[in-house]
Amino acid sequence: MSQIQEFEKVLSGSDTNVAAFEEHGKSFVKRAQHFLHSTPAAVPLIVLVLSIIIFGVAIGGRFFSSYTLTLILQQIAIVGILGAAQTLVILTAGIDLSIGVIMVISAVIMGNCAITYG
């Protein structure tokens, strides 16, 4: 083991520098594009934050009232619970889309009952 093998002799005389990318010449758009491609989970977060800002500016103080935020949380609760359950089902490789079908059928039946029975 103390003898230097042939490939080690060749490597000892070669240049050890490796190629590197230059980071200082990148524009903001290129850096943002690289960030979005390297972190795809940031895109929905950015869209959510931008939506909240746009609606907050467009509607004014009424959007951030306690009544509006409570109403939004009540309306999204069922979809959020079903989405979390569906995510767990998909992550365990047991893809099952029947949850969405049952949710749609339930919404249609409840809408029909609301119109028919008031």
CB atoms within 10 A of CB 55: 14
70/86 same-domain check: yes
Q: Give a yes or no: residue 77 inside a domain.
A: yes
Backbone angles phi, psi at 103, to 5 degrees: -65, -40
- Alpha-carbon gap, residue 74 to 80, rounded angstroms: 10
pLDDT confidence of residue 103? 80
pLDDT tens across 16-72, in order? 777 776 667 778 898 889 888 999 889 999 999 999 899 889 988 888 888 988 998
Asked if 84 and 70 sit in the same domain, the reply is yes
Helices (H), the chain: 6-12, 28-38, 42-59, 66-91, 98-117
Both 46 and 78 in one domain: the answer is no
| Co-location of 43 and 77 in the same domain | no
- The domain tally of the chain equals 2
What per-residue confidence (pLDDT) applies to 78?
Answer: 83
Is 70 in the same domain as 115?
yes
Distance CA(17)–CA(14), nearest Å, equals: 9
- In this predicted structure, the answer to whether residue 115 has a pLDDT above a threshold of 90 is yes
User: What's the pLDDT at 15?
Assistant: 74
The pTM assigned to this predicted structure is: 0.47
Q: Are residues 36 and 71 located together in one domain of the fold?
A: no
Q: Is residue 31, in this structure, part of any structural domain at all?
A: yes
Instruction: Give helix 66-91 / helix 98-117 axis angle, nearest 10°.
Output: 140
Residues 55 and 44 occupy one common structural domain = yes
Q: Which two tokens stand for residue 56?
A: 């907050």
Tell me the C-alpha distance between 107 and 99, whole Å. 12
Tell me: do 56 and 70 sit in the same domain: no
Residue 58 domain boundaries: 26-64
Residue 4: pLDDT band (50, 70, 90) is low
